[in-house]
Amino acid sequence: MLLEGPRTPLRLCEVAIPEPRAGEALIKVEACAVCRTDLHILDGELAQIPYPLIPGHQIVGEVVASRTLSKGSRVGVPWLGRTCGNCAYCETAQENLCDQAEFTGYTRPGGYAEYLAADERFCFPVAKKHAAVEVAPLLCAGLIGYRALRLCGEAERIGLFGFGAAAHQLAQVLRYQGREFYAFSRAGDLETQQLASELGASWAGGSDEQAPKPLDAAIIFAPVGALVPTCLRAVRKGGRVICAGIHMSDIPAFPYSILWGERRVQSVANLTREDGLQFLELARQVPIKTAVTRYPLEAANQALADLRAGVFAGSAVLELVRPPGGRTKAR
């Protein structure tokens, strides 16, 4: 599924199976989850998008050819596709900030396709125990939520603003870790608030409502800049506000008094391989259950439209290889 320009539908077409370069594996895609970042790419909101491109960066697939990964094994291919390995960032455990980084489904071809070539060093081993569609959403929604949580430090009481795929998974981690979470959805979205309550939220309401208690930290998953001052008002002194998306609308001006008291605002950029390994292990322990709506590859435009419209809870996943007896139905 090829993106040829901003705000145009993806086009189903035949392309050659990629020729892996040195250090790359050829992977047959089993499933690729849809991420809000894909919408930002579709809308031309990220810098220097190299059209035409194949989106998709939450990929589970089978190794077809590789020098270092065993053939037939299953891997996960995340957003961070490659780094330079020797810049100041790469050398200090901040490879997520590498200036030369390449990103799957953005500056490298992604997983809305039957095959992709991926740098072997940036693939994660993934067990075959679970369906590929259930694992795929861990690879960005889950992982970025986990990195955002790490930036919250020891916070006990955490606000989640925007309760989509990432928050759905993070809620399970927070509950497992015995932390309290407060879920904020779009005003009036009672269905999502109900889902958050079922997942163990101490409180669930609209982002226009006030948290019943001061929060230690807030994570913003919604791409809505106006939530930054909202969250600064919701956190206690010393509290952190973590912006977890790659793109956000402008943040309105706010009085210094709500940042005062050593409150912090910080963004989350990309992931490190260490985040991925830690998170996949944690996901196994919890264990995290993903809520998945399946689409065939050729229905990628529908999956993206449904994500934009908030049609489903959890994640949309393109299913390329169906398990025996499994069924993919287009919505």
Q: Which stretch binds Zn ion (CB under 5 A): 66-74, 89-97, 208-216, 221-229?
A: 89-97
Q: Single out the residue of 42, 49, 81, 83 in contact with Zn ion (rule: CB under 5 A).
A: 83
Tokens of 133: 């569609």
Query: Does 268 contact Zn ion by CB under 5 A?
Result: no
In the block, which residue shows the tokens 């089993």? 30
Interface region with Zn ion, contact rule CB under 5 A, candidates 87-95, 149-157, 215-223, 291-299: 87-95
- In the complex with Zn ion, which residue's Cβ is closer, 148 or 204? 148
Q: Which stretch binds Zn ion (CB under 5 A): 77-85, 185-193, 234-242, 289-297?
A: 77-85
Q: What is the DSSP letter of 242?
A: E
Interface residue with Zn ion among 84, 224, 258, 291 (CB under 5 A) is: 84
- State whether the Cα torsion 222-144-37-305 is positive or negative: negative
Give the number of residues in contact with Zn ion, rule: CB under 5 A: 8
Query: Is 87 near Zn ion (CB under 5 A)?
Result: yes
C-beta closer to Zn ion: residue 42 or 155: 42
Least distance from Zn ion to the Cβ atom of residue 59, Å? 11
Give exposure, 55-70, as e/b (b: 16+ Cβ within 10 Å). bbbbbbbbbeebeebe
Q: Tell me: does residue 140 bind Zn ion (CB under 5 A).
A: yes
Assess 35 for contact with Zn ion (CB under 5 A). yes
Question: Residue 90 interacts with Zn ion (CB under 5 A)?
Answer: yes
Q: Which of 27, 32, 33, 37 binds Zn ion (CB under 5 A)?
A: 37
Q: What does 52-113 look like in DSSP terms, one character per residue?
A: SB-----EEEEEEE-SSSPTT-EEEE-SEEE--SSSTTGGGT-GGG-TT-EEBTTTB--SSS
Select 37 or 293, whichever has its Cβ closest to Zn ion.
37
Site track for Zn ion across 198-227, x = CB under 5 A:
------------------------------
Tokens of 174: 């927070």
Residue at token pair 């999956």: 303
Question: Strands, DSSP E only, in the chain?
Answer: 24-33, 59-65, 74-77, 80-82, 102-103, 115-119, 124-125, 157-161, 180-185, 203-206, 215-220, 235-243, 264-267, 292-296, 315-319
- Please report, as ranges, the residues that interact with Zn ion according to CB under 5 A: 35, 37, 83-84, 87, 90, 98, 140
